[in-house]
Amino acid sequence: MCFTVPGAAFVAVVGHNGCGKTTLLRALTGQLPYEGTARVMGQDLRTVRRPAASGLLAHLPQRASVEFSLPVRELVVMGRFRHHRFLGAYSAHDYARADAALAQVGASHLAHQDFTLLSGGEQQLVWLAQLSLQDAALYLLDEPTQQLDVYYRRRVFQLLLRWVQQEHKTVLCITHDLDNLAELPGYLLNLSRPEPTLQVLSAALVATERAFLESEESLAHPENE
Ligand SMILES: Nc1ncnc2c1ncn2[C@@H]1O[C@H](COP(=O)(O)OP(=O)(O)OP(=O)(O)O)[C@@H](O)[C@H]1O
């Protein structure tokens, strides 16, 4: 597989369960060895020691957890870690950014709650607020809307679009949420296709890819033939 995202763009990564979507993100974040080359802003990811600390990557895994009680606002402000002195306290400016990020995802009302007591969907919104403060060139998101209701799903896709259009970020977003993709500008990468390629998103493309994913043909595994 070979693809190049031309500048800031939204890329939806779709495909059947187990087709390798999460594996792709794990390779890009250096958690898995791989053949070939991945470049972000011209830099070979293998040669970058800490891609998150250098502002190249920000990653939202499918299941992120926090082991101890922590107010939501404190978790969100940690997204500013790159702009921050080691062991120094976050400034009023950092907290203002955290509050604004929470407002952007529609979660201001959660600011002073204990993160560990939130619902799965609420936790997902908080992670997105934290991520938006990381200011990375490439965002890797693994099913960011999976636990969200219809209202927040749409809202999160609008948020991702703003990261692309206003902040000039590139977003690689794994999703099974085909309904919300039809209206978005960007690209689609279907990893269940034998030769996945970047295709320009449109309502017609989403309909074609949905029909493919719903077909028995798309589930044919080479080893079963
Ligand atoms: N550490 C591992 N060792 C061996 N096989 C693995 C490992 N991690 C994942 N796999 C396998 O690789 C395949 C792809 O997994 P992956 O998690 O990338 O799928 P996915 O496309 O993200 O699926 P889903 O939509 O269900 O999240 C699966 O068959 C999975 O069982």
Domains and CATH numbers, the chain: 1-56+138-225 (3.40.50.300), 65-135 (no CATH)
Indicate if the pLDDT at residue 164 is higher than 60.
Answer: yes
* Window from 31-45, 78-92, 100-114, 152-166 with minimum mean pLDDT: 78-92
Mutate to test the pocket of ligand 1, among 22, 175, 190 (most ligand atoms within 8 A of CB): 22
76-108 tens-digit pLDDT: 999 988 777 666 788 899 999 999 999 999 999
166-179 tens-digit pLDDT: 999 999 999 999 99
Tokens of 70: 């922590």
- Per-residue model confidence (pLDDT) at position 190: 96
- Per-residue model confidence (pLDDT) at position 224: 45
Indicate if the pLDDT at residue 223 is higher than 60.
Answer: no
Ligand 1 centroid from CA 105, angstroms: 29
Ligand 1: lining residues by beta carbon, under 6 Å: 15, 17-23
Residue type, 114: D
User: pTM, whole model, 2 decimals?
Assistant: 0.90
- Per-residue model confidence (pLDDT) at position 87: 64
Ligand 1 centroid from CA 4, angstroms: 23
CB 121 within 8 A of CB 152: yes
| Atom 26 of ligand 1, nearest CA residue | 17
Alpha helices in the chain (DSSP H): 21-28, 72-77, 92-104, 120-132, 150-165, 203-214
Interface predicted TM-score (ipTM): 0.90
* 60: phi then psi, degrees, rounded to nearest 5: -115, 105
Confidence bin at 55 (pLDDT 50/70/90): confident
Mean pLDDT of the residues in the chain: 90
- Per-residue model confidence (pLDDT) at position 67: 84
| Atom 7 of ligand 1, nearest CA residue | 23
* Window from 17-21, 61-65, 190-194, 213-217 with minimum mean pLDDT: 61-65
